[in-house]
Structure 1
Amino acid sequence: METQTDNTLETISYSGIFLSCFSEHGIHCVHSKPEHVLVYLYSGEQVIEDRNRKIKLKAGDCAFIRRDHRLKMYKNSQGNNLYSGISLVFQRNVLRDFYSKINTSEIPRDINVSDKKVFKLKSTPAIESLFQSLTPYFDSNIQPTESIVHLKLLEGIYALLSNNELLYPILFDFAEPWKIDLLEFLNNNYMDDLNMEQIASLTGRSLATFKRDFKKISSLPPQKWLIKKRLEMAYVKLKEEKKKVQDVYMEVGFRNLSHFSTAFKKQYGVPPTEI
């Protein structure tokens, strides 16, 4: 068992099953995992933002999030009800083992692979009983055995398959993730605080492959490309959108106003306050 606490968060983990509790302040985070995740909300509210699509979860709601996908999450309290939710993470070895033991002739055929990244699931007895059976372990801090955790993950797979047949080809796709277009990814995520290893992983590459592929699209090193992109977007926001410097520098991904001002003047010849 692992427990992490700070002013706003308590997270307890049991080998792939996570309980998260947040204070009345709530929390905003970027979700990105190399494995599929099943999320269930006990209390509060969770908003999952996937590009222009928003999925809102309230107490009793459940959602499936595909692996290798990056999105934003907002976890908030509602009135006196603090945020509390449980997540199940499905490692590929667990899914492979499950697949090897089922009768594959019973798997529905001719299911088109959906391009959806987040599925809000309908409430079923299988979903409800799975998550209600997990609460005693988190309420009492009594650690379940590895065998029980494994059984709960298997129960989660059965609950998913009975909930939506579109999840069959997603859960049992064991191919390595496709490479994501680098420019598209960077143009969509330039403002996020990511290092090169994280960008490589999120675009389905090793670090060496990422660096090699990046040379094909830019003469600049990746970090300098990011700074240039952030400064260009800052210029647009200052010049055309008439935003204030204090609002813009963090919005485009800088964490330090002094660093932003120095980089901006170096690129444009004037400080950002003169735009």
Structure 2
Amino acid sequence: MSDQATDPATETFVAHRNLLFTVAYEMLGSAADAEDVLQETWLRWVKVDLAEVRDQRAYLVRITTRQALNRLRTMSRRKESYVGPWLPEPMLTAPDVADDVELAESVSMAMMLILETLSPTERAVFVLREAFDVGYDEIAAALEKTPAAVRQIAHRARQHVDARRPRQTVSPAQARAALASFQRVLDTGNPQDLLDVLAPDVVLVSDGGGFKQAALRPIVGAEKVTRFLFGALGKNDLPVTVHPTMVNGSPALVVRLDGELDGIIAVRIEDARITGLYYVRNPEKLSRVESETPLVRR
């Protein structure tokens, strides 16, 4: 352990580990795959001659980006055979993540789903530029493209994301208030009250991964979403409890059946109403919601 502690390569990697994980997670939407990317990054990093590296942080981000891109292409094939809609893996985050508005938005479930609609290269460029403020020259080196090409990709990706992101930024307090209203409706069991909380064109996406029951397609419209939610939560003989939590930098709800973790419900809020519901029930995606995962941009 003492040798490791004094090893410059190890010290540098550990110092930037949370940043590298956040980069990989934003590119992949999967904590498990992000951890694999970090392992691959480490194996390449220990072979590097540090005397030849001018900016060690930038070099580590470059390795991580390349490994994440390779993994992203593999994941796209995996998702083709996935049962039902695929949602990002939710992670319990510390309250201070919500204080960093840009970080909180970039890792929110709503934004992560928008990133899913980008090509792998567009996603890498957007994440590095918008979320981590990496320079165009550095991104170009990571992707082995010219800075001019990276600027074009960044412009195209930004336009794509801007057309799909929420029309207004919601403060954590506003999000908590909307979620508290949603929770009260679920607790009281009055379907009519839920219609007052949901936007008319609300979309619910549920991810069971073939392990838990979930809708095989997104459900659109307040009435249909209401029927699905009360049907899914009400038909169990086991007692259902819903509690607030903080997932991906935003308020969310944790659902338990008879005390056992059943899923996470994240939301997208616009004009004080819920426009998106993301219900992750796949047990393989719930390993990061019991203890906090540190996410950083620096």
Q: TM-score range by the shorter chain?
A: under 0.3
Q: TM-score, normalised by structure 2?
A: 0.23
Structure with the greater alpha carbon radius of gyration:
1
Q: Which structure has more RCO (C-alpha within 8 Å, separation ≥ 6)?
A: 2
TM-score in terms of structure 1 length: 0.25
More helix by share: 2
